[in-house]
Structure 1
Amino acid sequence: MLAGPWVPPAVGKAPYLWLLSLNFFVWKYFYIRPTALELALLALTVIVFVPMYFSSYWLRNRRLVPVLLATFALGVAWAPFNFGACTFFIFGAAMCAGIENRRYAYATIAAILSGAALIALVVDLPLSFLMPTLAVGVPVGIASVMDATLKRKHWQLLRKQEEVEHLARIAERERISRDMHDLLGHTLSLITLKAELAGRLLDRDPEGSRREIRDIETNARQALAEVRSAVSGYRQTGFAHELAQARAALAAANVTLDANIEPLTMPATAESVLSLSLREAVTNILRHADAKRCEVNVTLKDGLLVCHIRDDGSKLDSLQALEQGNGLRGMQERVASLGGQLRVEVVRGLSLELRLPMGGFA
C-alpha cells in the first residue's frame, strides 16, 4: 500500500498538491503555542485523515459514505478549537465527486456545508471559520463533481469505442471467414473437377489433358489473387465476371447454365452479395446436386433487386446437408446485412431467391 499508487493514475498528481490545504489547519499554531495534548491530537488527526483522503479517490457511492462521515466528524470535533477545521468540510465537499449520481452528490455537498454552518451558529464560531467553508467549499465541491462527471463520460466513451472496435474486428473476421469459404470452396471444387477430367484424358487425349492442367494453374493463380483481394477488403470483379466463372465451372461438370440478366446498374454492395451468392450456389451444385441444368435470373421489381438461382439436381432432397455448412449461413448474413431477404427451397433441385432493396445503398 505504501508503495502506491495512492491515487488512480488517471487523476494525475493534483491530489498530492491538494493536501497542502491542510496548512489552514495548522495556521493557528504559527502564532499560538500548542499544548502537548493538542500537538498529539493534531498529529493523530493528520495520520487518520491522510489515508482516508487517498482512499476517497478509489471509493464510489455507498462505499464512500464512511469516509465522508469520518471527515465531517473530524471537522465537527476540531471546529470549536481551531477555525482551520473548515478545511475538513471543504475536503468533504470535494470527496463528493466519488458519488456518481450528480443529484446525490450535490445534495451531499449541501448537507456537509449546511452542517458546518449549523455548527458555526451553535458554537458561535467567527466568520473566519464560516466564510472559507462556504465561499471555498461550494465552488470546490461543484467543480469536483463536474470534473469527475466529465472524466467518467470520457472513460465511458473510450470503453464504447473499444467495444465498437472489438465488434468491428469480430465482424471483419467473420467476413473474411465467409469470403474464404466461398472463394476457396468454389475454386477448389473447380480444380478438383478439372484434375479428374485431366486424369481421364491423359491416355486418350493428351492435348486435352494439358489444356485442363493449364486451366488448373490459371484457376489456382486467380484464387490466390482473389484471396489477397478478399483479405484486403476490396472486390474488383463484378457479377458479370462471376457469371462467366460460373459458366466455365459448370461446363467442366457438364452442367448447362442459362442466364437471363436484366440490364441495370447494381450498387457495389449489392453486386458483391450477388456475386458471392452465385459463387456459393455454383459450389453447392458442383458438390451436392448432380445437376444437368442451372438457371440464373436477375431482375428489378418494385424497387427490389431480385435474383433467382435454380438447378435440376437430384441428389439434394433436403436443406439439411447445406445448413450444416457455412456457405448458406454466410449467404443469409450478407443478404440480411443489406436489409434483404433470402428464400431457399428444395423442389426438383435447389432454388434460391435473393431480394435486395436498391434504394438502401449509398
Structure 2
Amino acid sequence: MHLPSPLVPERYGKAPYFWLLSLVIFGWKALYTRMDITEIGLILLSICAFLPVYFLSFNSTGKRLYLCVFATLSLGLIWAPWNGGGSTFCIFAAAMASRITPERAAYQTLSFAGLLIIACTLLLNLPPFFWIPALLFGTTAGVSAVIGEKMLRSKEDLLRKQEEVEYLATIAERERIARDMHDLLGHSLSVIALKAELARKLISRAPEQAEQEIRDVEKTARDALAEVRAAITGYRSTGFAHELRQACATLESAGVQCQVQMPPSLPALPAATENILALLLREAATNILRHAQATQCRISLEQSAGQWVLSVSNDLPADTQHQPVSDGNGLRGMRERLASLSGNLDIRCAEEWEIRATLAKDFA
C-alpha cells in the first residue's frame, strides 16, 4: 500500500501553509475602493489557479519548476494594472525560484524576474503600490529563501554523511569483533578438539594419561571462556562513552554547542543499562539534528536515589516552544526498551526540549 505524497515535503514543515495567508493582500483594494462582483470572482479564480501551481512547485525540479515560477510571476503582472495586491504573486514566484539548482541559477532567475517587473512597470506605467512591494519584498524573500535552501541542503547532506559513517562504523565494528572472536577461540577450540580426540584414543590403554588430557581440555575451555568474557567486557565498557563522544562531535559539526555533565569518576555501567542509555543518546542527538533547529545542547548523566538519570535538552526557536509532544518510532522504541527494565522516559517541550530517561541502577 502506497501512502499519498504530502502537498509540501516534510523538510519544510508547516510554514508553507502559513505563507498562503499573504494572499489577503488582494483584499487591500477593498479598503479604498469598491470591488464589483466580477473582480471578486476573478480574484477567487486566480487564487484557485495559483494554489495547484504553488504546491506543485515544492515537488518540481528543472523545467517544471521554471514554469511554476514564471506562471506565478505572470499572474501577478496580469493583475498589476487593476489590483496592486497582485504583487503577492511576484513574492511567491521569488520564493519558488529559491528551489532552483544550482544556486547561481536561482539568483539568475531572481534577477530576470526583477528586470521583468521593472520593464512591465515602465511599459504599462504600473502604480508604485504594485512594483515597490513586488521588487522590495520579492527580492528580500527570494534571497532569504535561497540562503535557507542552501542551509537546508547542507543539513541534509550532513545527516546523510553521518548515517553513512554510522553504517560503515557498524560494519567495521562487526568485522573487528568477528576477527577478535576468531583469534580468541580459533586456537583454543582447535586444542580442545585435538586433546579430546587424544583422550578418546587413550582412555582404554592409558587411562591416567587420558585423564590428564581431559584436565587439559577443561583448563583450556575455562581459559577461553575467561578471554571471551574479558573481551565482551571491553566492548561494553566503551559503549556509552563512545556514543557520547560521537554525539557531541556530530552536533558540534552541525553548529550545535554541547555542554556535558558527568560524574567525576563514572563507574562501570551494567551492560543492559549502558546499551539502553547509549541508544537513547543516539536517538536524542538524531532528533536534535533533524527537527530542533537548535544552537545549544546539554547532556547529563547522574546517579540519584538508586537510579541512573540521563537528560538531553536543547533550545528551541520561539515559534516551536510549548508545542504538544508526540512520539515518533525512535522514541516509542526507547519507551519500550526502558519499560522492559522498569525505566521510564519523560519528554518536555517548553522553552527547551528535554528527554529525560530514568533507569534503576541494579539492572544488569
Between stretches 27-36 and 48-57, larger displacement belongs to 27-36
SS in structure 2 of the partner of residue 203 of structure 1: coil
Report Cα offsets for 1:167-188 as digits up to 9, x if no partner: 1111112222233333332222
Question: 1:199 corresponds to which residue?
Answer: 200
Question: 1:103 corresponds to which residue?
Answer: 104
Question: 1:245 corresponds to which residue?
Answer: none
Larger Rg: 1
Question: 2:118 corresponds to which residue?
Answer: 117
Question: 1:224 corresponds to which residue?
Answer: 225
Offset, 1:74: 0.5
Question: 1:88 corresponds to which residue?
Answer: 89
Identity %: 50
Distance 2:141 2:162 in 1: 31
Offset, 1:162: 0.1
Preserved CA contact (<8 Å) 1:90 1:137:
yes
- TM-score between the two structures when normalised by the length of structure 2: 0.60
Letter in 1 for 2:9: P
Offset, 1:94: 0.8
Report Cα offsets for 1:1-28 as digits up to 9, x if no partner: xx87321222122111211111112211
Report Cα offsets for 1:315-360 as digits up to 9, x if no partner: xxxxxxxxxxxxxxxxxxxxxxxxxxxxxxxxxxxxxxxxxxxxxx
Question: 1:134 corresponds to which residue?
Answer: 135
Question: 1:17 corresponds to which residue?
Answer: 18
Distance 2:215 2:186 in 1: 20
Question: 1:172 corresponds to which residue?
Answer: 173
Q: 1:149 to 1:61 in 2, by over 3 A?
A: farther
Preserved CA contact (<8 Å) 1:187 1:219:
yes
Question: 1:44 corresponds to which residue?
Answer: 45
Q: 1:179 to 1:4 in 2, by over 3 A?
A: closer
Question: 2:55 corresponds to which residue?
Answer: 54
Distance 2:64 2:206 in 1: 86
Offset, 1:56: 1.9
Preserved CA contact (<8 Å) 1:61 1:98:
no
Report Cα offsets for 1:137-172 as digits up to 9, x if no partner: 111110000011101100100000000101111111
Preserved CA contact (<8 Å) 1:94 1:140:
yes
Offset, 1:234: 5.3
Preserved CA contact (<8 Å) 1:176 1:231:
no
SS in structure 1 of the partner of residue 81 of structure 2: coil
Question: 2:35 corresponds to which residue?
Answer: 34
Question: 1:161 corresponds to which residue?
Answer: 162
Q: 1:221 to 1:60 in 2, by over 3 A?
A: farther
Offset, 1:103: 0.7
Report Cα offsets for 1:87-146 as digits up to 9, x if no partner: 111111111121131111111111112111111111101211121112211111100000
SS in structure 1 of the partner of residue 42 of structure 2: helix
Report Cα offsets for 1:51-97 as digits up to 9, x if no partner: 22122222234331111121011012111111111111111111112
Distance 2:13 2:120 in 1: 35
Letter in 2 for 1:185: G
Letter in 2 for 1:133: A
After the TM superposition, which residues 1-362 of structure 1 pair with which residues of structure 2 at under 5 Å, given as runs?
5-231=6-232
Task: List gaps (5 residues or longer) in structure 2.
Answer: 237-364
Preserved CA contact (<8 Å) 1:90 1:141:
yes
Distance 2:226 2:31 in 1: 83
Preserved CA contact (<8 Å) 1:6 1:54:
yes
Q: 1:135 to 1:159 in 2, by over 3 A?
A: same
Between stretches 38-47 and 176-185, larger displacement belongs to 176-185
Preserved CA contact (<8 Å) 2:66 2:97:
no
Q: 1:4 to 1:38 in 2, by over 3 A?
A: farther
Distance 2:219 2:189 in 1: 12
Letter in 2 for 1:190: V
Offset, 1:229: 4.1
Preserved CA contact (<8 Å) 1:176 1:230:
no
Letter in 1 for 2:16: P
Distance 1:233 1:172 in 2: 13
Distance 2:174 2:233 in 1: 12
Letter in 2 for 1:218: K
Preserved CA contact (<8 Å) 2:23 2:88:
yes
SS in structure 2 of the partner of residue 7 of structure 1: coil
Corresponding pairs, count: 235
Distance 2:208 2:180 in 1: 35
- TM-score between the two structures when normalised by the length of structure 1: 0.60
Distance 2:64 2:227 in 1: 58
Preserved CA contact (<8 Å) 1:187 1:220:
yes
Q: 1:61 to 1:145 in 2, by over 3 A?
A: farther
Letter in 2 for 1:187: S
